[in-house]
Structure 1
Amino acid sequence: MMMADHMKLNGEWPALAWPLALKDALMPQTRESLQKMARLLKLYDWENEKDKDALVGGLLPALADHAAESTRLWDEERWSLIRKLVKNNGLMTEPPESGPVAYYLAERGIAFPGEVKGKKSLVMPTELVERFARLEGLSGTPAQVKRNTEHIKLTQGLLYYYGVLEESELEARLIALTGETPEDGPDLFEVLVDALDFRAMFDFDEDGLYANLDVEEPRELLRIQQARRELPYREFAKAELLKAGEPEYVERTKAHQELAGYLANEYAVDMLEADTIVEICADTFKNGKSMSAAFEILQFEFSIEDGQTVQEVGGLLARLNNGTRQWVLKGHRPDELQMTVGGGVPSNVLAMPQRSHHADVISIQTGRKIGRNDPCPCGSGKKFKKCCGAVGD
């Protein structure tokens, strides 16, 4: 899995003054963080400066303008944050505590997390408040910000259904969906790369392969997709992709809801927990794994033992697998491909190319251990070898 490593605001928050002068915000920062700030804002004359005082002195006169320029890459969520901070003269109490929000702004010197009079807050230096207040379109949402938002959501939607896309394929699909050309605004991939530090649900490697964050082995998935030359990508409407590109979106099929309801009723867990467990099972199918891998997850959570329950769960898992749009099948469901075999889609496209896991319509299988690179069945979202599997190392 490729994932941006975000910090979280845990433990004590530093005390901050408000109003906050930019120099007072920069001086407590480490030299390394100031150098990163210079790099992110393209103040390249200062990114290698080793003298901290000189570094702060170099950033002070230019940071506000460069930070304002960086907004050309932003989406509506980041733009909304700036509007709120400017409206409140640089103070936001009870801000989001996760890394992708506060640290995105702090790393760019735009706003800093801390406590103001005992309350957790996000504080924008006065120089930034004054500069951002002069931004064109701040009273509303500029067309470029709306365009960036659409590109980011469409990218997330495409990767939600396909898992991986090479840069050229992604660009071609975005152009087809929006009718825009690369000359219509800032560089598309510059927008996407900048979004990685915020809340993006994708990542990319050095060769330009974009992947959904839940894809375990992006290059292997691409190889499997390319081996299925006879199988075209399943086409999705723009509205479908925008919906799938929303944060926390989950396609809850009828089979998904049936299995979640069964687990909630039989094992006295709340629906939110049951839904999360079913989502993890669906992700194993998206990654092209056999049903026994998903069964292992349920077995870990609920200790399924009697034969009748095994049969019931097996049937529900089979329906979940068959109704899940799978990355190894380029966004198709196994059951819809099964219905079209003989009508344009060769039967061999359902076979997993040179891999033991099955992505076709299957019955329950047993005896397969969770792999080291599989999602940990505890539901942490980490690979097994990085979570519960590390105990035995």
Structure 2
Amino acid sequence: MGYQLKITIKNSRPPIWRRIIVPEHITFVDLDNIIEAAFGWTHDHMFAFKFGNWEEEFVGTPFGSDEDTADVCIDPWMEEGISFSYIYDFGDDWVHTIKVEKIVPYEERYPQVTKYKGPNMIEDCGGIWGFYEYIDEAEPFDMEAVNEKFRTWNLAETYPEAEDDWMADEDEYREAMEMFGKLLSGLTGEDEESQKEIEGLMEAMKIHEDNLRETVPPLMSLEDVFMCYTKEDLKYIAKMHGFTGYNKFKKNELAQWLKNHLLETVFMKEILLKASEDELNLFEKAIKENGIIMNEDIISRYFLLGTYGGYNSELEFYRVPVDVQEKYEKICTPEFKKECAIGHRFLAYCDSAVFLYGVIPVKKFVEIYNSYEDTDMDIKEAGQRIRELIDRGEPYALREGLLMDEDLLEEDLFRFIMEIQAPFSYYIPEDKEEFIKYGQTDSQAPDEKTQFFIDYLHKKFHKKSPEDMLIFMQMQDGIRMNADVEELIEVLARWDCKISSQKQILEAEKQIFRLSNYIRKWDYKGHTAEETRQKDKKIIQFPGGRKVYPNDPCPCGSGKKYKHCCGKNK
């Protein structure tokens, strides 16, 4: 798990900021090092993190001191949606506002900058007001170089791990995990031999899983799980769920108190309703089969699984305690399951609408939803459901009656997208399952028009599944986001597709231009360039002053470079 932070220099105009994902279980000293590297500070001054009305403060010096208070874990303070301050150099008083945008799945032990605005900062220039007098001397921020530096870091975990009293045969487990690793490494069953190997590995995994169910002691109560944690772990869980009044308890009292609160019908129903369809399916599978092997990143990704189950990280074995199972069975009436199904369906529609259009009026979204589902949901109910999805962390935004990808809020990009989209109608498939599938997979599956690109990867670079599909998905994402052809060729290079000669470059450009005809884009309200061309039978105009570079694929969808097509005589 990790924390997505947006860190902004206070009073900078336009705002200077970095969006950074940092791993959990690090200290405020680690976070200071991350921030200083991301803004170009040089560790020459004291720093402090402050929460609320200065009620919590963590102070550090450049070289460490007995008076420092920053060598504590950040986790208890990283609550989604909160903001706090980081002050660097108590003379120039550089204040950084830090917002915890979301808690995200993240396995790495190093930080990563994902977006940024503005240059590096300048030391000893008199603070933010003096900075603008010397801004021409500020070095540009190099995200690639900083992330390369971050990748060499290996931040130690400072947060106590749960105790582990479960036992199993280590040799048997290791052998099974090696087999499972082979499955994950890319066996796909493309031929009879590999299919047989997969079936053999799956059978071995099933036998190992059955053995774990026999040898690992059952969990009778959620309280048993909590007793394997430290008191700080339990306090953190209570805080994550928004509980108060838990600081007065001893560890065993807190474990029982927390269990009682989490098994309250109203509270558990709320968590179940917010769970995704995949998460509920895994939870039910663990109950039905009396435990399942599961990767730790799945546990950290899913709130329901992490709240109501016990996990042995060494064995990668997950179980649901008996008292949780009994409560779940009482809650899950046919009516409740129907309510969950409606919520999952609505989420799938939102995912697909955002994938295809980027931004869409809620009114139009409701029209699409009702036409497919034959219902009469109104705009008010849809808006409420969308807000609930946003509150639980879905990457949407709701503004001015528009549902959109949250990234389009940056600098009001959604207005620019809507201006480009204006001439087009919405792409709405006749088959509602096709519509939903875009959101479920967050991609456009290969078909008879795009299979040529998969074949190109096979023939020229000897790429096989699943690598070929991952490349295909990254390429279509780049095309959807209007990446230029050079950036897309770099994507191929990162996948070790050797493109060095001019002939190879021209061939790659040709394949990319051809592929761009068949990728559904926000610019065309979910249509492909080919579909818009067939409909209008004329060159598409480029509204809104859209910037098109000479070597970009021409937005008309011809497959040619802009300079050889619509831009030829300009």
TM-score (norm 2): 0.51
Distance 2:397 2:381 in 1: 26
1:72 maps onto 2:171 in alignment: no
Decide whether the 8 Å contact of 2:104 with 2:301 is kept in 1: no
Decide whether the 8 Å contact of 2:286 with 2:320 is kept in 1: yes
Q: Deviations over 1:23-55 (max 9, x none)?
A: 23234152552234432xxxxxx3464345475
Partner of 1:111: 309
Partner of 2:369: 174
User: Aligned to 1:129, what secondary structure does the other structure show?
Assistant: helix
Partner of 1:320: 515
Relative to 1, partners in 2 of residues 1:246 and 1:106: Cα closer, same or farther, differing over 3 Å? closer
Relative to 1, partners in 2 of residues 1:177 and 1:265: Cα closer, same or farther, differing over 3 Å? same
Matches within 5 A, 1:292-311: 292-300=486-494, 301-311=496-506
Please state how far the C-alpha of 1:320 moved relative to its aligned partner.
0.4
Relative to 1, partners in 2 of residues 1:318 and 1:52: Cα closer, same or farther, differing over 3 Å? farther
Q: Which amino acid aligns with 1:236?
A: P
Distance 1:207 1:49 in 2: 37
TM-score (norm 1): 0.71
Please state how far the C-alpha of 1:352 moved relative to its aligned partner.
6.7
Please state how far the C-alpha of 1:144 moved relative to its aligned partner.
1.4
Q: Say which of 547, 556, 570 aligns to 1:355.
A: 547
Decide whether the 8 Å contact of 1:74 with 1:191 is kept in 2: no
Partner of 1:192: 389
User: Aligned to 1:347, what secondary structure does the other structure show?
Assistant: coil
Decide whether the 8 Å contact of 2:226 with 2:234 is kept in 1: no
Matches within 5 A, 1:1-393: 5-8=104-107, 15=164, 18-27=218-227, 28=229, 30-39=233-242, 46-47=243-244, 49-51=246-248, 53=250, 56=255, 58-65=257-264, 66-88=267-289, 91-99=290-298, 103-107=302-306, 109-114=307-312, 119-137=315-333, 142-165=337-360, 170-171=365-366, 173-178=368-373, 179-181=375-377, 187-189=384-386, 192-193=389-390, 196=393, 203-205=395-397, 221-228=413-420, 229-237=422-430, 238-247=432-441, 249-300=443-494, 301-341=496-536, 347-348=540-541, 350=542, 353-356=545-548, 359-361=555-557, 362-364=559-561
Distance 1:103 1:320 in 2: 35
Distance 2:102 2:367 in 1: 24
Q: Which amino acid aligns with 1:33?
A: Y
Q: Which amino acid aligns with 1:151?
A: F
Q: Which has the higher contact order (CA 8 A, sep 6+)?
A: 1
Distance 1:225 1:147 in 2: 30
Distance 2:427 2:281 in 1: 34
Q: Deviations over 1:104-143 (max 9, x none)?
A: 2254x3113225xx732223233322211212437x9822
Decide whether the 8 Å contact of 1:326 with 1:333 is kept in 2: yes
Distance 1:334 1:186 in 2: 31
Decide whether the 8 Å contact of 2:352 with 2:439 is kept in 1: yes
Decide whether the 8 Å contact of 1:256 with 1:278 is kept in 2: no
Decide whether the 8 Å contact of 2:310 with 2:319 is kept in 1: yes
Decide whether the 8 Å contact of 1:161 with 1:327 is kept in 2: yes
Decide whether the 8 Å contact of 1:85 with 1:129 is kept in 2: no
Relative to 1, partners in 2 of residues 1:335 and 1:195: Cα closer, same or farther, differing over 3 Å? same
Partner of 2:198: none
Q: Deviations over 1:315-369 (max 9, x none)?
A: 21111011111122221111222233367xx832x45744345533242489xxx
Relative to 1, partners in 2 of residues 1:249 and 1:302: Cα closer, same or farther, differing over 3 Å? closer
Which 5+ residue runs of structure 2 have no aligned equivalent?
A: 1-18, 20-100, 110-156, 167-216, 564-570
Query: Number of residue pairs matched?
Result: 345
Between the two proteins, what is the percent identity of the paired residues? 15
Q: Which amino acid aligns with 1:227?
A: E
Q: Deviations over 1:250-306 (max 9, x none)?
A: 321445321221122122222432332232121111012233322332345334233
Which 5+ residue runs of structure 1 have no aligned equivalent?
A: 40-45, 197-201, 367-393
Distance 1:234 1:218 in 2: 25
Distance 2:221 2:241 in 1: 18
Q: Deviations over 1:226-253 (max 9, x none)?
A: 2132323222342221222323653214
Q: Which has the higher strand share?
A: 2
Decide whether the 8 Å contact of 1:157 with 1:242 is kept in 2: yes
Decide whether the 8 Å contact of 2:275 with 2:303 is kept in 1: no
Distance 1:72 1:95 in 2: 22
Decide whether the 8 Å contact of 1:22 with 1:125 is kept in 2: yes
Q: Which amino acid aligns with 1:144?
A: E
Q: Which stretch has the larger CA shift, 60-69 or 350-359?
A: 350-359
- Whichever of the two has the greater Rg, that structure is 2
Please state how far the C-alpha of 1:13 moved relative to its aligned partner.
7.8
Distance 1:184 1:227 in 2: 28
Please state how far the C-alpha of 1:220 moved relative to its aligned partner.
5.8
Distance 1:224 1:351 in 2: 10
Distance 2:340 2:353 in 1: 20
What CA RMSD, in Å, does the superposition of the two structures yield over aligned residues? Answer: 4.0
Q: Which amino acid aligns with 1:233?
A: Y
Partner of 2:130: none
